[in-house]
Structure 1
Amino acid sequence: MKLDFTKTNGLIPVIIQDFYSLKVLMLGYMNEAAFAKTQAEKKVTFYSRSRNELWTKGETSGNFLNAVNFSKDCDDDTLLIKVIPEGPVCHTGSVSCFNESSAKGFLYELENVIDERISNDSTTSYTNELYKKGINKIAQKVGEEAVELVIEAKDDNIDLFQNEAADLLYHFLILLKVKNVKLETIEGILKERMR
């Protein structure tokens, strides 16, 4: 990958993004040596403008940024690195230097839509209709969707498999709602298990 370090006196801005959630975690700067070290070691190394030296993120805290993917912008003077972080990224202990505690993506948006349809008692909503049938019916539906996904997994029709996976995720979110459990809680458990 060829980057243009000449435009900004030998340094380029580097955006750090979580590989899984796509959450922007921080911004740092690299010179050519920092970039070469990051590529070689797969641990993000920046150039410290205040100390005028290279520093590998996590060398004192243990919160390394494991580089997975590198992308440059169209002008070759900005870098995006997708990482798997080992612990909090910000020196304050936050997940992100932009004061965001968790990633919010489409599944969270869908969780909100499910909540709204139930809270507003939408009479034309399948979601609300299923919710009103109670935990037994919802749990049964999740079980049915899981079995259908397993069946499709054994066949070669990827479209059917993907649709059954979507059905399972959707009904799982309704089950979480009826149990009064947030998706973020499940995400937190999975994150803990990764350590």
Structure 2
Amino acid sequence: MSSDRTASHLARNLAALRHARTLTQQELARAAAVPRSTIANLESGEGNPSLAVLVKVAGALSVPIDELLAAPRALVRHWPADAIAPRHKGRGVQVRDLVPEPVPDEMMELMDFEPGAVMGGTPHLPGTREFFTCLDGRVILMVAGDRYELAPGEVLAFPGNLPHSYQNADALQRARGVSVVVLAKAGV
């Protein structure tokens, strides 16, 4: 592969990955610990980055280096249901990743509750925000001692660093919800 084509692939892939993560060039440069002009040069196809720069930029985007340099291809991947293994996190609660690829600064999980199941939440760093959406059944969330009962379609947002727990409010039927945790940036 010629170096011109490699630079073109890098420029296209870098811009697409940055836009998909809604990052400015300055934000990506800060996360990668490189000057903003380096990102601009790479996205213009004019850059000739060192391996160290590629490692930093790939790390900041949470992708392997080969994804930055890859030739155009459809970014499609199919996971069969059995390939996304559920984790048991509490008595009668199964949790599995909603999105099986890493998403920077977020955790997204599908939670299935057996009748009456209870699960304690894991407190996160201060500044973390958690959103729980009830999909089926009724789920009770306890947040810092306060009780919230959610019906299908209802969402509760709360600081993820507070003590919290989840419970299926129904002793006879299953419940299901989605948890999205927007993680605080360390040191911010």
- TM-score clears 0.5: no
User: Given the two structures, how large is their TM-score scaled by the length of structure 1?
Assistant: 0.27
Q: Which has the larger radius of gyration?
A: 1
More strand, by proportion: 2
User: Given the two structures, how large is their TM-score scaled by the length of structure 2?
Assistant: 0.27
More helix, by proportion: 1
